[in-house]
Amino acid sequence: MKTFLITVLLAVTLPVMSAPSWYKGKIKRIWPYGHDGSFIVTFEGNSNLSDCKHKYAYFTPQKQPEKMLENSYALALSAFHTSASVGIVIDKDEMVENDGQCRAFSIDLRK
């Protein structure tokens, strides 16, 4: 009976624990890669992205529609040129599926 209850408890709580993570910082590098509008962002200093492969945040059309990806790129460039802080949302559970790559869902400016 205990094993059954623990199994049910884990089955209910594990999906809840899979929440997006926020990474905050100032952008150090931005570069486009591929032909689909994808780009990579890194943060300055001791990066909050340290648990991501190469400490990169990947912006791809698999996670963002085309227009949103274009807007994210424009926002990242603006933040880079003004030294503004940004927040990036990444689902860490997908890192395993993506070979450790942190694929970003969104980006916003921070004060």
Encode pLDDT of 62-91 as tens digits.
888 889 999 999 999 999 999 999 999 998
Candidates 2.40.50.100, 3.30.70.2190, 2.40.50.70, 3.30.10.20; correct CATH number of 20-110? Answer: 2.40.50.70
Q: What whole-number distance in Å separates Cα of residue 84 and Cα of residue 59?
A: 19
pLDDT exceeds 50 at position 9: no
pTM of the shown model: 0.78
36, burial (CB in 10 Å: exposed 0-12, middle 13-18, buried 19+):
exposed
Q: Domain limits of the chain?
A: 20-110
How, if at all, do strands 57-59 and 102-110 pair?
A: parallel
